[in-house]
Amino acid sequence: MKAPAFSYLRPENISQAIDFIDIYGDEARWLAGGQSLLAALNMRLAAPSVLIDINGLSELAGISVNAGKLIIGALTRHREIEHSPLVAQHASLLALAMPHVAHAAVRNRGTFGGSIAFADPAAELPACCIALDAEFVIVGRGGERRVRARHFFTGLYETALQTGEILVAAEIPCARDKGRAAFRELARRHGDYAIAGLAVQAAVEGDVLRDVNIAFFGVDSKPVLAEHAASVLEQGAATPARIEQAQHQLAQDLAPQDDVHYSGAMRMQLARVLLARAIGDLVNLETKSAAR
Ligand SMILES: Cc1cc2nc3c(=O)[nH]c(=O)nc-3n(C[C@H](O)[C@H](O)[C@H](O)COP(=O)(O)OP(=O)(O)OC[C@H]3O[C@@H](n4cnc5c(N)ncnc54)[C@H](O)[C@@H]3O)c2cc1C
């Protein structure tokens, strides 16, 4: 099918973009890479009467470091993040995750902000941002506000963004000395949305983990921070026994539901297996026994 008819606007700066969205409100959608939005239009899952194309807003694009924070503009393409030396140095979790986001052709066009705002529950970047304790910078008529990633995703394809607001950037604390990342997902084919996956950021000294952030995706209607499992892992060396304990604690963090594709029980089992593998990656542990 083809998209329903829509009007097309292309603002030259953020201020003009906010003027446009003020006029059209809920009738309008921001158009970034179009990799999700245009498919939704073609399938008639969405029918906005106006698309506001933000591709000309150069102030929304790019990657920089300022005051101990890695700043990723909303319009930065997935491919740029994948190959950025700044991202590899300061937020290696994103570099690990990016090759799993769709396929090269989609990554050439898809944007960081589009993925965050779209909030697909099986998407990799929202979970990474939670694990990295990112903060999102949002602009609207009332000025600028910030929302921590862990509070941003409010439900299935739902976020804290209000009508009339635009996501401008993510600010991510630069990884410290001992900071390490692990990323695991299971998808039917490489590049597909994940059946289940997780992003982990922690301080690692030998086999001891501190400040553990574990964010799962694909297992609920939004990404989930697994705080109970993380707190078990912070209690001592990451031995196979402790990892197994953390796997059990996941029952406190996750409650995957049955859907048309898989049972909740299967997703929970996958989450446990992927957790053991990711923690094994962090401490270079042979996790075969715990990963069963
Ligand atoms: C075949 C295929 C496979 C894919 N596989 C994966 C995958 O495995 N993992 C994954 O994470 N993604 C996957 N995607 C989605 C891809 O990552 C998209 O690029 C991304 O979800 C949306 O980014 P976009 O820039 O294309 O946004 P668009 O499609 O332009 O917009 C998506 C939504 O976000 C809103 N939006 C965009 N930018 C902003 C902003 N700055 N502020 C506020 N709202 C905004 C739009 O209004 C729209 O509602 C896949 C896509 C395709 C086509």
SS (H, E, C) 252-286: HHCCCCCCCCCCHHHHHHHHHHHHHHHHHHHHCCC
- Average pLDDT over the chain reads 95
Nearest CA to ligand 1 atom 46: 30
If one compares 54 and 176, the residue with the highest pLDDT of the two is 54
Is the pLDDT score of 288 beyond 60? no
Torsion on CA atoms 198, 201, 206, 211, rounded to nearest 10: -120
pLDDT, one tens digit per residue, over 191-200 is 888 999 999 9
Query: Which atom of ligand 1 approaches the CA of 117 most closely?
Result: 34
Query: Which atom of ligand 1 approaches the CA of 194 most closely?
Result: 8
Q: List residues near ligand 1 (CB under 6 A).
A: 29-37, 39, 74, 101-102, 106, 110-111, 113-115, 117-118, 120, 123-125, 161, 166-167, 191-193
Query: Which atom of ligand 1 approaches the CA of 75 most closely?
Result: 41
pLDDT, one tens digit per residue, over 135-187 is 999 999 999 999 999 999 999 999 999 999 999 999 999 988 889 999 999 99
Mutation test residue for ligand 1: of 106, 124, 185, the one with most atoms within 8 Å of CB: 106
pLDDT, one tens digit per residue, over 243-264 is 999 999 999 999 999 999 999 9
The structure's pTM equals 0.96
Closest CA to 185 of 289, 277, 81, 79: 277
Q: Provide the pLDDT for residue 190.
A: 85
Those residues whose C-beta lies under 8 Å from the C-beta of residue 56, and which sit 6 or more positions away, are: 10, 11, 12
Q: Provide the pLDDT for residue 191.
A: 82
Element housing 68 (H / E): none
Mean pLDDT confidence for 85-95: 97
Looking at the chain, how many residues does it have? 292
Is the pLDDT score of 30 beyond 70? yes
Determine contact, residues 107/82, Cβ cutoff 8 Å. Answer: yes
Q: How many angstroms separate the Cα of 37 from the Cα of each of 30, 111, 197?
A: 9, 12, 24
Domain architecture of the chain: domains with CATH: 7-53 (3.30.43.10), 59-173 (3.30.465.10), 179-283 (3.30.390.50)
Query: Which atom of ligand 1 approaches the CA of 77 most closely?
Result: 25
Q: CB count, 10 Å around CB of 272?
A: 24
